[in-house]
Amino acid sequence: MSVTKAPPAHPAEAAVRKPSTRRRLVPYWLLLPGILWLLVFFALPMVYQASTSVQTGSLEKGFEVTWHVRTYWDALTDYYPQFVRSLLYAGTATLLCLLLGYPLAYLIAFKAGRWRNLVLVLVVAPFFTSFLIRTLAWKTILADGGAVVDALNTLHVLDVTAWLGWTENNRILATPMAVVCGLTYNFLPFMILPLYTSLERIDGRLHEAAGDLYATPATTFRKVTLPLSMPGVVSGTLLTFIPASGDYVNAELLGSADTKMVGSVIQTQFLRVLDYPTAAALSFILMAVVLLVVTVYIRRSGTEDLV
């Protein structure tokens, strides 16, 4: 450094500059807690799990890094049905959330008037109860001999769903349908809120303008409302699909051995089988798959083009 060789020609100027460097550092100081949080609770566990996934050994003898990459291949071949199932259930639940959530979000944004805040509170209200309790409640709702199953049986709806492979033996519990119902219910608010936010931002006069320019209400929705709400659709589907594909509570509580999702497998491997390398490898595969699906999805929906 040449600081000693060339002292500042104008001491006053140096004095003026000093606080500005301090001011420049302020954003970094403000970022520090967040960065530390990510480092300790995200980056470090990732590195740790990555190392675990390439270890071999047993609980008694201890695990050590042997770069046994085959664990990944074995995990994938052993558990690919659970992977496919996870993506299928999560995808179905996401689609159902979108179909249920969009009209509701639209209603709140454009038609609720003074009831808007109340309805929004109602959307969030389930969060005041524990996730587990709510999911267990669905066990009662979908129970054999319960009102829902009886009604659907009487209407022969369960015959149709059984033919589709969603239910079996005239029951809902312990079938794919129960798991998808649970996922849909639990993640619905994560769909509604982003949808609401992006719909609410749409200027109501755009609807009037579209109507004025010969668009029927249906066309107005297709050509104006839907494209403008795409950011909400994308963030809502991501907020639903990503956690739903890794979820295991719904599959555990509402499903059966035949409806296990990859989250359940990871949980079992970690906590019961105590095969840490396989569990870690499964986690990384799931992450890679979700990342891939999400990347393709964002690319294709082209939301970066939206204002």
Partner 1 sequence: MTQQQTEGGDVRLTGISKTYGSFTAVHPLDLTVPQGSFFALLGASGCGKTTTLRMIAGLEEATTGTVSLGGRDITGLPPYKRPVNTVFQSYALFPHLDVSENIAFGLRRRGIRSVSRQVGEMLDLVQLGDFARRKPHQLSGGQQQRVAVARALINHPQVLLLDEPLGALDLKLRRRMQLELKRIQTEVGITFIHVTHDQEEAMTMADTVAVMNGGRVEQLGAPADLYENPRTTFVANFLGTSNLIEGEIVSAGTDVVVAAGGGKLTLPGGRCPSPVRSGGKLLVGIRPEKMSLTHTDDADRIPEGRNRVTGRITDSSFIGVSTQYVVESTAGTALQVYEQNIERDSRFQPGAEVILHWNPGHTFGLDAAQSIDAGAAGADGPEAVA
| Interface pick for partner 1 out of 214, 257, 272, 304 (rule CB under 8 A) | 214
228 counts as binding partner 1 under rule CB under 8 A: yes
**CA nearest neighbour of 207 among 192, 195, 222:** 222
CB of 227 to partner 1, least distance (A): 5
- Give the range of 18-26, 140-148, 223-231, 253-261 binding partner 1 by CB under 8 A: 223-231
Out of 18, 212, 271, 272, the residue judged to bind partner 1 by CB under 8 A: 212
Q: Does 88 bind partner 1 (CB under 8 A)?
A: no
For residue 57, give the H/E element and its range: strand 55-58
Smallest separation, CB 101 to partner 1 (Å):
21
Beta bridge partners of 159: none
Shortest distance, position 194 Cβ to partner 1, whole Å: 18
278 membership: H or E segment, kind and range: helix 276-301
Residue written as token pair 């982003």 = 194
How is residue 222 annotated by DSSP?
Answer: I
Site for partner 1 in 247-306 (CB under 8 A): 306
Residue count (the chain): 307
**Window 10-69: residues binding partner 1 (CB under 8 A):** none
Residue among 163 and 214 whose Cβ is closer to partner 1: 214
**Which tokens hold the place of 172?**
């809902």
Residue 112 CB coordination number (10 Å): 16
Stretch that binds partner 1, among 10-18, 56-64, 163-171, 199-207 (CB under 8 A): 199-207
Query: Closest separation between CB of residue 233 and partner 1, Å?
Result: 13
| Spatial separation of the C-alpha atoms in residues 106 and 112, rounded to whole Å | 9
Q: Phi and psi at residue 168, in whole multiples of 5°?
A: -150, 155
Considering only 57, 146, 211, 246, the residue that binds partner 1 (CB under 8 A) is 211
Q: Going along 158-219, which residue ranges are E strands? A: none
Binding site for partner 1 (CB under 8 A): 203, 205-206, 208-216, 219, 223-224, 227-228, 306-307
